[in-house]
A = this chain, B = another copy of it.
Amino acid sequence: MDKKQLILDAAIKLFVEFGFHGTPTSKIAQEAGVANGTLFHYFPTKDDLVMALYIDIKTRLNEYIEQNAKQEAGFKERVKGQYLASLYWALDHNAEFRFIQLFNASPYHTVLDPVEVDKQTKPILDMLRMGIKDKIIKDLPVDLLYTLITSHTYALNQYLAGQEFSKTKQHQYISDTFELLWDMLT
């Protein structure tokens, strides 16, 4: 068993439930079933843990999107692929997705390496630029559009997580809200 992963898993759960301030490292170690010192063996500081967690989660989400959002079809289908993949992943990894939101709203977000952030968002911005060039979507700054799309996605996830819908209803709302998003963009 990978203790490092146990620690990360415990940390997600507790951070999402109690926030960063509300979860001592001791509780994380306890929840993970490891000794206090073990946590600091893998993560020198609590901040390192938070950062590592964010990077880990974001990486896995991006991998999932890359593998599941097909590239072949037309522009709308490509955007939709990204949107659906994000939300399907979020349905299965709710704590992780909420952690991303928590992190984004927190001051940690500002200490992220901008280069790394750019690298992750660039493909999407490029896609949007192409849509603008082809006069498919509205001509507005792509980073603005990106912000709006992202927040739309998070908002839907929060909505779905906040209530107990059937799988069918969930998928329906995901489709429906993609159409809203699309109407917004075009």
Give A contacts to B, CB under 8 Å. Answer: 17-22, 101-102, 104-108, 138, 140, 143-144, 147-148, 150-152, 154-156, 158-159, 173, 176-177, 180-181, 183-186
Contact = CB atoms under 8 A, between A and B. Distances in A.
A140 to B, nearest CB: 6
A51 B24 CA distance: 22
A87 B94 CA distance: 30
Nearest to A110: B17
A185 B176 CA distance: 11
Contacts of A106: 19, 102, 105
Contacts of A155: 147-148, 150-152
Nearest to A176: B140
Contacts of A150: 155
Nearest to A107: B19
Contacts of A143: 159
A46 to B, nearest CB: 10
Contacts of A152: 148, 151-152, 155
A140 B169 CA distance: 12
Nearest to A154: B151
A120 B4 CA distance: 44
Nearest to A106: B19
Contacts of A140: 176, 180
A178 B20 CA distance: 34
Contact of A17 (B18, B107, B184, B185): B107
A19 B102 CA distance: 11
